[in-house]
Amino acid sequence: MKKVAFHTLGCKVNQYETHAMMELFKSADYDIVTDKDFADVYVINTCTVTNVGDRKSRQFIRKMKKLNPDAVVAVVGCYAQVAPEEVEGLEGVDIVIGTHGRKEIVRLVENKDEGRGSQFVEDIMQVYEFEDLALTEYEGKTRAFIKIQEGCNQYCTYCIIPYARGNIRSRNKELVLEEVNRLAEAGYREVVLTGIHIASYGKDLNEEHYFLELLQEINEVPGIFRIRLSSLEPNLIRESFLKELQKVNKLCPHFHLSLQSGSDRVLKRMNRKYNREEYQQAIQLLRQYFKNPALTTDVIVGFPGETEADFLDTYDLLNQLEFYEIHVFKYSPKKGTPAAEYKEQINGKTKQERSEKLIAMGEQLKKGYMKSFIGKKEEVLFESYDPEEKLSTGFTSRYVKVKGKSEVDLSKKMQPVKILDIREEKKDFFAECRIGI
């Protein structure tokens, strides 16, 4: 039996797509091995959000070819889409596929001599159909990611993703529901809806309420305990939307809204579609409609031209809004984006200092939020069990990590617990609990 190995860089969408490609190879009687093993085929699913992602992609291409010089090396994903000629020119690369047409990967691998390289990369801006790379086989875990959407029309000045993923395309609602039902039958209890820009789900179909309708229908699927959203956009957060959203009783009160900057001047240069006040209003509305929601965000420090006053605007806003988690990124110029050409690039030392300040604040805010649950009762969906320690680990609906002693494996079960204390573990925190109150 032929062997195929995968290496995945980047986001949850990439991970989902890798699993879908694995299924295609399994259906063709390939054995899946790790990326450290000898294989007949190596597939590198690339990321191009930063230049670091490009570099890591190149490193793994070289590494995999060394494992088996005769192997077929297929490079897919965002880096391949944005720079197909560059990828094709790398030593050892046999096949280049972008972010569309991956359903053909097995055929292309098995017929690699029919052509080579960039002719397999389509003009993504001319693609208007969602490529359905559905999963049909599931094993192991409790929580599953489901890709519902592709592409982005936002064109933030620092971001290459619209050029890598193309225009927004929504997955057919019925196909999503079929996958949710398969997941439930396979024992999964939580689904996370993901995509490149899921807030735009349905807009390409001129279906104003398509997103809400999808959530409402998933809410009715037996066996699914929780629905979680990978991200939302501030502009989507309106009272009319939230009035309907709060009726989805399986929806986790855990929302990710990227801020990127608390300075209106910087937000405008980034081409974000909101200002500081509008973002604050979105957060206030979420807290109005959902009890003590877990709110998380992304922030970029050191964007070209960011002054100390701009940074302080960001710092003050983050502190004021009291996020559960803050993901801090130091700006990195990305070739092909407008911001890479901006003057007033910020030096590395300043970026590092600003990043450290936000990370330190974020740690304190996270610990404070978690402490607010001490003494309270929570429902926890357990995901793993350590039989030696007799310790079960799971998450609350607000994505607070919880650990508690149990004599039996509680994985895939929802259990009531009482939060006793907050502990630190490997530069992160978890809640210690008593199970079965």
What integer is the mean pLDDT of 38-43?
94
With respect to residue 217, please indicate whether it lies within any of the assigned structural domains.
yes
Residues 22 and 93 in one domain: yes
pLDDT over 60 at 117, yes or no: no
With respect to residue 128, please indicate whether it lies within any of the assigned structural domains.
no
Residue that finishes a domain, picked among 344, 371, 398: 371
If one counts every other C-beta atom within 10 angstroms of the C-beta of residue 192, the result is 17
Residues 319 and 360 in one domain: yes
Which pLDDT value is given to residue 114?
62
Domain of 40, CATH number, reads 3.40.50.12160
Q: How far apart are CA 330 and CA 337, in angstroms?
A: 16
Residues 189 and 116 in one domain: no
Amino acid at residue number 284 = Q
Residues 349 and 402 in one domain: no
Residues 97 and 199 in one domain: no
Residues 106 and 34 in one domain: yes
Instruction: Dump pLDDT digits (tens) for 402-427.
Output: 999 999 999 999 999 999 999 998 88
What integer is the mean pLDDT of 35-49?
93
Instruction: Dump pLDDT digits (tens) for 192-206.
Output: 999 999 999 999 988
With respect to residue 108, please indicate whether it lies within any of the assigned structural domains.
yes
Which pLDDT value is given to residue 134?
78
Asked if residues 79 and 45 have their Cβ atoms less than 8 Å apart, the reply is no
Asked if residues 305 and 269 have their Cβ atoms less than 8 Å apart, the reply is yes
Give residue 428's domain range: 377-435
CA dihedral defined by 120, 123, 129, 134, rounded to 10 degrees? 40
Confidence of residue 113 (pLDDT cuts 50, 70, 90): low
Average predicted confidence (pLDDT) for the chain: 94
Residues 198 and 342 in one domain: yes
| Assigned token pair, 346 | 């910020």
Residues 202 and 303 in one domain: yes
Residues 353 and 283 in one domain: yes
Q: Which long-range contacts (CB under 8 A, 24 or more apart) does 58-66 make?
A: 58/90, 60/7, 60/9, 60/35, 61/90, 61/92, 61/93, 62/90, 62/91, 62/92, 64/5, 64/7, 64/35, 64/39, 64/92, 65/91, 65/92
With respect to residue 127, please indicate whether it lies within any of the assigned structural domains.
no
Residues 298 and 408 in one domain: no
pTM for this structure? 0.93
With respect to residue 181, please indicate whether it lies within any of the assigned structural domains.
yes
Residue with the bigger pLDDT between 303 and 60: it is: 303
With respect to residue 134, please indicate whether it lies within any of the assigned structural domains.
no
With respect to residue 309, please indicate whether it lies within any of the assigned structural domains.
yes
Amino acid at residue number 281 = Q
Domain of 334, CATH number, reads 3.80.30.20
Residues 185 and 329 in one domain: yes
Confidence of residue 174 (pLDDT cuts 50, 70, 90): very high
Instruction: Dump pLDDT digits (tens) for 390-400.
Output: 999 999 999 99
Residue that finishes a domain, picked among 122, 155, 183: 122
Instruction: Dump pLDDT digits (tens) for 280-308.
Output: 999 999 999 999 999 999 999 999 999 99
Residues 322 and 386 in one domain: no
Instruction: Dump pLDDT digits (tens) for 65-100.
Output: 888 989 999 999 999 999 999 998 888 899 999 999
Count of structural domains within the chain: 3
